[in-house]
Structure 1
Amino acid sequence: MLNEGEVVLRLVMSVVLGGFIGLERERLLVGYRTYSAGFRTHILVAVGAAVCMIVSEGLHYQFKGDAARVAAQVVSGIGFLGAGAIMREGLLIRGLTTAASLWVVASVGLACGAGYYLPAALGTLLVLFTLVLLGTFEDLVRGKGRYDLLSMVVSDMPEQVRLIRAYLEEQVGEVNKIEVSKMHEAGRVLLEVYMKIPPEKKMIDILHYLTTLPGVYRVEHRT
């Protein structure tokens, strides 16, 4: 049976490692952009998975049952939580990376709960490498790393797009590209604007003004 010190160590490790991955997701909360799973959610998933693994191991020693039975349900059960992080906006699907990070952090939590600290720590480092460094590389390959992206849900009216474009060109200069996608909601479109915002401009002021325009329902920003 596990002693109390070992139980505490496993749970603390799950909090620390899950928190590192959650912080990477949390850093994307820029401007008015919101993610459905951030710092606290990833910690909760990691701790929950660790508790399941510890309980599963304890039941095995106490009742001679299958030590993997409880923990195995975490792998399938986390799929329902991950599905909640995936959102469809018009032709675009967002949140797949966050859903994948939830699945991975559950695996890290299971490893912590089982006492496999090296795989848990190394797995966390590889996840952070993938999300941070490879994410930047992916943006550069796609040619979007050089631009800021404004994602807006607006009324499906041509004059609305012209108004927004005119304001942005007045504030920041040249707009590189505008993509318009239909959404499921009637009368709304997803507007994605790629541009380079000068350092002297305050993004929060631009976002605040855009949200005050009639027919603008949501504004998000990322680099």
Structure 2
Amino acid sequence: MLTEKEIILRLALSVLLGGMIGLERERLYVTIRTYSAGFRTHILVCVGAALAMVVSEGLHYEFKGDAARVAAQVVSGIGFLGAGAILREGPLVRGLTTAASLWVVACIGLAAGGGFYLAATLGTVLVLFALVILGALEDYVRQRRIHDVLSMVIGSQPQYIHQVGEFLKESGLIIKNIEVAKMADDEERQLLEITVQFPPNTSRVQILNKLVSLPGVYRVEHRQG
């Protein structure tokens, strides 16, 4: 039979491990200014799973029942929380990572509640590695794959193209390609299309506002390709 100290240790460990993962999710959702499963939700899920495992083990010792019966319902029951964390915005689906973190936090809670301290702790470390380290790597790779296209109407004089190019370089943008075309109905203006890569944490709006204020720049349009 489980002792009181053992029960306290298991539940306290579930709070610690679930909270560590919840803090990472909380940081993400504070950044994008929305609400989803964060710090408290992950703690509640982990503690609930640990408690279910402790109860299952207690029932097994007390009544010789199936030790996995109560705990098994956690894995299937966590699905309703995961579904609530997933949001669809047009063609985009958000929240899959948070739903997966809720599911794995429930499994960590079961491990902690079952007394598998090494498995629970190592599982938490691996989850944080996937969310923090691999998440940063994924953002870096995604950022490098995305190119921004700036379409501009500028004066036909050569110095205007040079002026735009110098401004983009000074702003830290990497120029990938430049295309220039004449306007059939206006010989004093030309179309300029530049494919660039923005550095991280650069305000696109600020760059566009400065571009359109340059002499000889009449219009600036932006799209991602």
Where on the TM-score scale, by shorter chain, does this alignment land: which range? 0.5 to 0.7
Give 1:12's aligned residue: 12
* Counterpart code for 1:52: A
Higher relative contact order, structure no. (Cα contacts within 8 Å, ≥ 6 residues apart): 1
- Give the CA deviation at 1:33: 1.9
Give structure 1 stretches of 5+ with no counterpart.
148-171, 177-193, 202-223
SS at match of 1:65: coil
SS at match of 2:78: helix
Give 2:73's aligned residue: 73
Give 1:48's aligned residue: 48
Size of the aligned set, in residue pairs, is 159
Give 2:139's aligned residue: 139
- RMSD, matched Cα: 2.7
Q: Is the 8 A contact 1:85 1:98 kept in 2?
A: yes
1:130 partnered with 2:136: no
SS at match of 1:28: helix
SS at match of 1:30: helix
Give 2:33's aligned residue: 33
Give structure 2 stretches of 5+ with no counterpart.
148-170, 176-196, 206-225
Counterparts of 2:116 and 2:128 in 1: how far apart (Å)? 19
SS at match of 2:29: coil
- Give the CA deviation at 1:195: 6.0
- Give the CA deviation at 1:35: 3.6
- Give the CA deviation at 1:140: 1.5
Give 2:109's aligned residue: 109
Counterparts of 2:115 and 2:128 in 1: how far apart (Å)? 21
SS at match of 1:93: strand
* Counterpart code for 1:21: I
Counterparts of 1:145 and 1:44 in 2: how far apart (Å)? 38
* Counterpart code for 1:72: A
The structure-2 alpha-carbon separation of the partners of 1:130 and 1:54, relative to structure 1 and needing over 3 Å to count, comes to same
The structure-2 alpha-carbon separation of the partners of 1:23 and 1:9, relative to structure 1 and needing over 3 Å to count, comes to same
Instruction: State, as a whole percentage, how many aligned pairs show the same letter.
Output: 70
Give 2:59's aligned residue: 59
The structure-2 alpha-carbon separation of the partners of 1:56 and 1:90, relative to structure 1 and needing over 3 Å to count, comes to same
Counterparts of 2:60 and 2:12 in 1: how far apart (Å)? 22
- Give the CA deviation at 1:30: 3.4
* Counterpart code for 2:124: T
SS at match of 1:126: helix
